[in-house]
Amino acid sequence: MFWADEFLQDIKGDQVINDSFTPSGMVHMGSLKGPVIHDALYKVLKEKGISVTFKYGFDDMDVIDGLAPNLQESHSKYMGVPLFLAPAPEGSGSFADYFRERMQNLLEELDIHPTFYRTSELYNDGTFNRAIRYVLDHASKVRNVYSEIYKKQIPDTWYPVQVICPNCGKLGTTKVTGWNNDTVTFACEKNLVKWAEGCDYTGEVSPFDGGAKMPWKVEWAAKWWTFPVTIEGAGKDHASAGGSYDVAMKLVNDVFGGKQPQKLAYEFFLSGGKKMSSSKGLGITGEELLEVLGPQRSRFLMIKSPPNQAVEFTPRESDSISKVFDDYQHANKAKDEKKRAFELAQVGSVEKVPSVRFTTLAQWVQMPNMEAQIKKEGLEEWAPYAKVWIEKYAPESEKFEVKKELPEIVNSLSSEQRQFLATVAEELHQFKDADELHKRLYEVATGMGLSSKDAFSALYKALIGKDHGPKAAWLIISLDDKFVKERFLESSK
């Protein structure tokens, strides 16, 4: 049974699925796994006729606590400021909006259409007022949860909110020192954190209507309580024992008295056996993934394996991308859970899947005059992905180009190989079909006592300057007869 069907097989009652993203930087491809998994669950519930709502939030009330190197000079002064209040890296709008729009565009392309919300709006419009009052009134319970999980005493002077300093606009540098039923006292401490500097302002403000923010683990539990959420997965880094997931689960139960959502932990993507990391050059962005795989294969990659299994995906200099296309084609014809993954990977109507392998298409897009063949095989939509793969990710062994000038490597040809090329050159005009030509190439080589390896190596050396390449007959047929004949004769001298 497919993992999503198994996870939901006994579920009853109305459901609320939630997921979220912090719009603070580039959308790594791993950031798409959560929304695709949740969307698959949403679609399965819809199929079952169960009333379900899918919410997707942008946690734009979080503060800027780190910056890409190219933003250090322009945005370092906004460290500690909420994402929705800092200006965009370029253009108009906020810092959060800049990255939110990127994620939202990707989700649209992936056919994911949840009810979007911004966490800053939940604070500003008063949606979170009840939760804020509740955690301040029950601050001792929050402290007890933290103390129990982290095995250390949380002082009575700690409160589960931070406020936006009215003097400097920072949130990450403030510490609440008291709660008076309607207002909180606070200090914007200069050295509270290492990554931002406070202004030493002290005062008293209302924590409601956007004046304050709960710590994100408390905020997570507050979302579950407020909506209320019945299903929300989380990545391995949050879902490990004693991690953020466990803290939020205990908070919603022990502090809010709410129900815990169904737990679903999902593993990382690995590149070369290591967790993907944009800073270390491992993996690619969401935009890059869709550019080379398209939405259907991207969805398929995210859900074809159970979420708790790590997936190896090394896009550069490997066969990872071509393998996704192969697996997708096989899943289309399968009759087990692979077929289910294919079905849930579809975007809009069901895609008509071509039978030609992706690696063959990648060869064709490098050959001249193959447009008609590509169209005949129904490969027009996949051809752009093959071109991107060749240009950006394919191993050098998969790349080739027909040389305009005679390659130097022909100097290494044996006399038998030269004779083979001369013979083939005189017969080329007889063949317009690649399969017939392929058969004749073998016959000529056999008749001369030349191994197929040496024979085809001669063809490749003469045309592309390598000793290996694509299907030789297809390559030859794609080229001008006169050009090939002259090149083979020139190489045979």
CATH number at residue 412: 1.10.10.350
CATH code for position 248: 3.40.50.620
Query: What pLDDT does residue 216 have?
Result: 95
Say if residue 297 is in the same domain as residue 261. no
Burial class of residue 276 in the structure, from the number of CB atoms within 10 Å of its CB (0-12 exposed, 13-18 middle, 19+ buried): buried
Query: What pLDDT does residue 340 have?
Result: 97
Candidates 490, 315, 323; CA nearest to 404 is 490
As for how many domains the chain has, the answer is 4
Say if residue 348 is in the same domain as residue 434. no
Query: What pLDDT does residue 242 have?
Result: 79
Say if residue 278 is in the same domain as residue 343. yes
Q: Is residue 281 included in any domain, yes or no?
A: yes
Query: What pLDDT does residue 272 have?
Result: 76
Say if residue 12 is in the same domain as residue 96. yes
Say if residue 298 is in the same domain as residue 172. no
Helix H or strand E segment including 176? strand 174-179
- The CA–CA distances, whole Å, from 198 to 68, 77, 440 equal 21, 11, 80
Say if residue 474 is in the same domain as residue 361. no
Please, are residues 444 and 334 in contact by the beta-carbon 8 Å criterion? no
Q: Is residue 152 included in any domain, yes or no?
A: no
What is the spatial distance between Cα 21 and Cα 19, in angstroms, rounded to a whole number? 7
Say if residue 244 is in the same domain as residue 282. no
Query: What pLDDT does residue 198 have?
Result: 98
Please, are residues 38 and 16 in contact by the beta-carbon 8 Å criterion? no
φ, ψ at 202 (rounded to 5°)? -125, 150
- Which domain does 340 fall in, by range? 274-398
- Which residues make Cβ contacts (< 8 Å) with residue 215, sequence separation at least 6? 160, 161, 162
Burial class of residue 106 in the structure, from the number of CB atoms within 10 Å of its CB (0-12 exposed, 13-18 middle, 19+ buried): buried
Q: Which of 354, 380, 398 is the last residue of a domain?
A: 398
CATH code for position 342: 1.10.10
Candidates 228, 233, 230, 234; CA nearest to 256 is 228
Asked whether the bond before 228 is cis by omega within 30 degrees of 0, the reply is: yes
- Which residues make Cβ contacts (< 8 Å) with residue 309, sequence separation at least 6? 267
Pairing of strands 231-235, 262-266: parallel
Say if residue 93 is in the same domain as residue 225. yes
Q: Is residue 14 included in any domain, yes or no?
A: yes
Q: Is residue 138 included in any domain, yes or no?
A: no
Q: Is residue 241 included in any domain, yes or no?
A: yes
Q: Is residue 179 included in any domain, yes or no?
A: yes
Q: Is residue 151 included in any domain, yes or no?
A: no
Say if residue 360 is in the same domain as residue 309. yes
Q: Which of 246, 267, 288 is the last residue of a domain?
A: 267
pTM: 0.93
Say if residue 257 is in the same domain as residue 390. no
Q: Which residues pair with 390 in a beta bridge?
A: none
Q: Which of 398, 423, 447 is the last residue of a domain?
A: 398
Query: pLDDT in tens for each of the 493 residues of the chain?
Result: 999 999 999 999 999 999 999 999 989 999 999 999 999 999 999 999 999 999 999 999 999 999 999 999 999 999 999 999 999 999 999 999 999 999 999 999 999 999 999 999 999 999 999 999 999 999 999 999 999 999 999 999 999 999 999 999 999 999 999 999 999 999 999 999 999 999 999 999 999 999 999 999 999 999 999 999 999 999 888 878 778 999 999 999 999 999 999 999 999 888 777 777 655 556 799 999 999 999 999 999 999 999 999 888 989 888 999 999 999 999 999 999 999 999 999 999 999 999 999 999 999 999 999 999 999 999 999 999 999 999 999 999 999 999 999 999 999 999 999 999 999 999 998 998 999 999 999 999 999 999 999 999 999 999 999 999 999 999 999 999 999 999 999 999 9
Say if residue 284 is in the same domain as residue 192. no
Helix or strand or coil: residue 456? helix
Say if residue 13 is in the same domain as residue 119. yes
Q: Is residue 157 included in any domain, yes or no?
A: no
